[in-house]
Chains A and B, each alone.
Chain A
Amino acid sequence: KAGVTQTPRYLIKTRGQQVTLSCSPISGHRSVSWYQQTPGQGLQFLFEYFSETQRNKGNFPGRFSGRQFSNSRSEMNVSTLELGDSALYLCASSFLGAEKLFFGSGTQLSVL
């Protein structure tokens, strides 16, 4: 069974640009969660999608958005990038919710 796939693995952007990250969950998993990981703040929850609906949202500004498609694949978008958005963005999938998360290797975003 293929694991969680995140693309791209690395991204370099400049301030003000926007970026879209992609996540393909494990086959059969309907829940996809996104986390931001930074050395100072650790892992912070961004949002969770289940069957194309956002069920939970963390405390991030509206520049951070996401969506989930009918095949459970998910994308997250960050608009008007700021230097502080530099982080490892992790996607996790599960069958129902947070009972056991399977993580991808993440997308390392650098904002210059």
Chain B
Amino acid sequence: AQKVTQAQTEISVVEKEDVTLDCVYETRDTTYYLFWYKQPPSGELVFLIRRNSFDEQNEISGRYSWNFQKSTSSFNFTITASQVVDSAVYFCALSDVNAGNNRKLIWGLGTSLAVNP
């Protein structure tokens, strides 16, 4: 069965520190997608990135970077030079692929990140 584990429940850092959020997944699918979403206090989940299982290239977007390693079933997320506005709950998710485009997401329990000034 598919499963997503975010072992870090809460992380607290001081502004400008780098922080890495861990995500480990389990799946028997050979084709799947991994996602990261951010949930600020307002409650609305915001899409950050999608990565398919055939693309292990690391990705960088501004202060955000993602490290996908199939060998360890991990898809970790790093924020460089964190800012107070990065404070949120971050979720890692895995697609549960059914026929065609029918998919649902399996979510980790989230990591609550607090960036203190």
* A64 interface residue (CB < 8 Å to B): no
Interface of A is mostly: strand
* A90 interface residue (CB < 8 Å to B): yes
Q: Of B37, B95, B103, B104, which contacts A58 at CB under 8 A?
A: B104
| Contact, CB under 8 Å: B45 / A96 | no
A72-112, CB < 8 A from B: 88, 90, 92, 96-106, 108
Contact with A along B53-79 (1 / 0, CB 8 A): 000000000000000000000000000
Contact with A along B91-108 (1 / 0, CB 8 A): 101010010011111111
Q: How far is the CB of A48 from chain B (nearest CB, A)?
A: 6
* B43 interface residue (CB < 8 Å to A): yes
| Contact, CB under 8 Å: B44 / A103 | yes
B7-51, CB < 8 A from A: 33, 37, 42-47, 50
B interface, how many residues as a size bin? 20 to 34
Q: How many residues of A contact B (CB 8 A)?
A: 26
In the assembled complex, the Cα of A101 lies from the Cα of B109 at a distance in Å of: 18
Q: How far is the CB of B31 from chain A (nearest CB, A)?
A: 13
- Measured CB to CB, the nearest residue on chain A to B97 is A98
Chain B residues within 8 Å of A, Cβ to Cβ? 33, 37, 42-47, 50, 91, 93, 95, 98, 101-110
**23 A-B pairs (CB sep. < 8 Å):** A42-B109, A43-B93, A44-B107, A45-B104, A45-B106, A56-B104, A58-B104, A88-B43, A90-B43, A92-B45, A97-B101, A97-B103, A98-B103, A99-B33, A100-B47, A100-B50, A101-B45, A102-B47, A103-B37, A103-B44, A104-B44, A105-B43, A106-B44
